[in-house]
Chains A and B, each alone.
Chain A
Amino acid sequence: MTHWIIVPVVLPAVLGALIVLAMRNDLLLQRVFGLAGTVALLGVALALFRAAQLGPPEVYLLGNWPAPFGIVLMLDRLAALLVLLTMVLALFVQLYAIGTGWDAKGRHFHALFLFQLMGLSGAFLTGDLFNLFVFFEVLLIASYGLMIHGGGKDRLRAGVQYVAFNLVGSTLFLFALATIYSVTGTLNMADLAVKVAALPAGDTALLRVGAMLLLLVFAIKGALVPLQFWLPGTYAAAPGPVAALFAVMTKVGAYAVIRVYTLIFPPTAPAIGPMTGDVLLPAALVTLGIGAIGVMGAGTLARLVAFAAIASMGTLFIATALFTPQATAAALYYLLHSTFATAILFLLVDLVLARRRTGTLRQALPPVAQGGLLAALFFAGAIALAGLPPLSGFVGKLLILQAARDHAATVWPVILVTSLLMILGFAAAGSTLFWKAHATPRDPGPEPPATPALPLVAVFGLTFCLVALTVLAGPVLRVLDATAADLYAPAPYIAANALPAQE
C-alpha cells in the first residue's frame, strides 16, 4: 500500500495541470478527464480506507527522509475516512456541475476542482503541521478560484472578503506554528505529541499560546463563533455546486481540531490540560444558537442554508469539545451526515434559483418546474439537517446527546431548542417556496425548458448516501468507534513515524 498514500495528492495535481495546459479550450475533454480523475480518486480512497481498516497507521516518507526531519504523510483510519468522504461528495458535485452546465460558465472549473481535491486530501493525509498549512493554502487558493467561478459583482466582492479573511487566518496559522516551533523545535505531529507530553506543567505558557492560536485558526476554517461571519456571505454568493463542495471545507477545520487536540495537545497532557474543551464547548453552543436563529431569520434561501451549515458546525464542535472516544465517534458520524445534508441543500438551492430566478423568502412566487420533486428533496434535506427522524441527522444528534450526558444541563437544552428553531425556519421557508406558490398566479410568460436529469441524479445520489448512513448506522458506528479509539490511543500512530530515540 506504501506508494498509494501519495496518489490522492499527486494524481489531481498532475491531472489539474494537464487540463490547464493541454485542454483549456475543449470543455468535453475537460469533463471527461475531470470526471475520470475524480472516479479514480474515489477508487484510491476506497482502497486506502480498506487498508486503514485492516492494518495499523502507515507512514509515507516524502523523499525518503526519516521522520522528524522529512515531511511525512500518515494514513490512519481518520484520514482515510475523510478522504473517502471528500471523494464521494466530489463525484456527485462534479456530476451536478456538468449536468447544470456550471462548469461552462467560466474557465478552468475542472482544473480548480482537482486542485481543490488535492488540497483537501493532502490536508487530511499529512502528518506534519507545516505541511498542513501548505495544504490549507492549496485548498484555499483553489477555493478562491472556484468561489468566483462564473463572475458577477456580488460574487467578486464576497470573494474579496473571503480571501482577505482567510489570508488573516493563514497569518495567524504561521504565528501559531512559529510559536510552537520555538518551544518544541519540531513540527512533525508525532514528534510534537512526544515532546509536548514530556513538557513539565510549569514551563508551558508559550506553548499554550501557540495551541490556542492554532485553535483560533481552525475555528476560522470551521466557522465557529465568533469567527463565523465570513461563511453566510461566501456560501450564499458562491456557485451552487461550489458551495456544496465547500460543505467539506468547514469539516477540514473540525478534522484539524480533532487531529491536533487528540494527538498533540490532548487533555491528558500536563502542558495543556482540559483547556481546549473549556474554550471550545461554549463557543460551539453559541455557534449552534446563532446558526439556528439565522435559519429563522434568513431573507434568502442561500443564506438560510448557509446558517444551517453554521448550526451543523456548532453541533459538530459540541461533540468534538467533549474529547471522549464516545463523543468523538458521535462527532465523526455527525460530520459525515452534515456534509451530505448541507451539500444536498446547497444543490437544491441552486436548482430552485435556476427556476425561480430569485432566492427571496419574503414573497411567494409562482410554482416552479418540477416543484413537487424539489419540494420532496428539500423536505428530506431539511429534516436531515434539523435532526428529525427518520434520517441520519436524528441518529447523529441522538449519539451526541448520549455522549454529552455529563453536560446534560447545558448541551441538551441548546441542541433540542435549536432543533426546534431550525424546523420552524425550514418549514417557513419550504411553505413560502413550495406551498404558497400554488396560490400565486402563474406568469403568462413561456415555461422554462425542462432541465436535464443529471443534476437530479447527483442530488438523489447524495440523498441515497444519507439514507445509507441511516440504515447502516450500526456498521458505520463500529468503524467510527474504532477510529475514535485509535485517536485516543495514539501509540501506533507515533510508532509508525519511527522517530529516533530521545536523548
Chain B
Amino acid sequence: MEYLIASGVGLMTAAGVYLILRRHTFPVILGLALLSYAVNLFIFASGRVVIGQPPILTKGAAGYTDPLTQALVLTAIVISFGMSAVIVMMALGAFLETGHDRIDTNDGKNDGEGTGD
C-alpha cells in the first residue's frame, strides 16, 4: 500500500513537472492539475496510511485514522479546483487576445512594459 501511494505521488509529480516545463499553456495547466493531485495524495499519506479504521475516536474502537489530514486535503482540493478554474479562464483570455497560447511573454521583443491604459 505504501509502495503504491509513494509511486503514485512520485509518478504524478514527475509527469506534472515535465508538463509545466512545456511552452504552451494547455500542457502547463494539465501539469499543474497533476501536481495538485500528487500533493493531495501526499497530504493524505502524511497522516499515516491506515486501512479500515474510523476517522473519529470512539469508545471501544480498535484504532483510528488521522481525520485532520483528510480535512486538509479537502481544503486543498477546493482551493486547487478554484485556482485551476482561474488559470483556465486567464489562459483562454490570453489565447483569444493574442491568437496563440505560448507561455513566454516576449515574441523576440521586450514587451513587459506597462501600457498607459
Contact = CB atoms under 8 A, between A and B. Distances in A.
Interface of A: 105, 130, 134, 137, 141, 144, 148, 150-161, 163-164, 167-168, 170-171, 174-175, 177-179, 181-182, 232-233, 236-240, 243, 299-300, 302-303, 349-350, 353-354, 356-360
Contacts of B45: 178, 182
A159 B86 CA distance: 11
Dominant secondary structure at the A interface: helix
Contacts of A137: 79, 83
Given A168-B32, A182-B46, A163 B114 contact: no
A236 B105 CA distance: 12
Contact of B87 (A167, A357, A360): A167
B90 A159 contact: yes
The 7 closest A-B pairs by CB, nearest first: A182-B46, A178-B46, A153-B97, A156-B94, A300-B113, A302-B114, A178-B43
Contacts of B111: 154
Interface of B: 20, 25, 28-29, 32, 35-36, 38-40, 42-43, 45-48, 68-69, 72, 75-76, 79-80, 82-83, 86-87, 90-91, 93-94, 97-98, 103, 105, 110-117
B114 A236 contact: yes
B112 A164 contact: no
A141 B82 CA distance: 9
B117 A150 contact: yes
9 contacts: A134-B79, A144-B90, A153-B97, A159-B94, A160-B91, A170-B83, A171-B36, A182-B47, A299-B110
A233 B112 contact: yes
Contacts of B38: 171
A205 to B, nearest CB: 15
Contact of A164 (B32, B46, B115): B32
A237 B86 contact: no
Given A153-B94, A156-B93, A144 B113 contact: no
Given A154-B113, A300-B113, 7 more contacts: A130-B72, A153-B97, A154-B105, A168-B32, A174-B76, A358-B113, A359-B114
Given A144-B90, A171-B36, A354 B116 contact: yes
A153 B79 contact: no
Contacts of B42: 174-175, 178
B87 A303 contact: no
B114 A179 contact: no
Contacts of A168: 20, 32, 35
A240 B87 contact: no
A186 to B, nearest CB: 9
Contact of B75 (A130, A163, A171): A130
A240 B114 contact: yes
B112 A237 contact: yes
A177 B43 contact: yes
Contacts of B43: 174, 177-178, 181
A141 B83 contact: yes
Given A153-B98, A171-B36, A303 B83 contact: no
B87 A157 contact: no
Given A154-B111, A178-B42, A164 B20 contact: yes
B20 to A, nearest CB: 7
A360 B114 contact: no
**Which residue, of A148, A159, A167, has the highest number of chain B Cβ atoms within 10 A?**
A167
Contacts of A179: 46
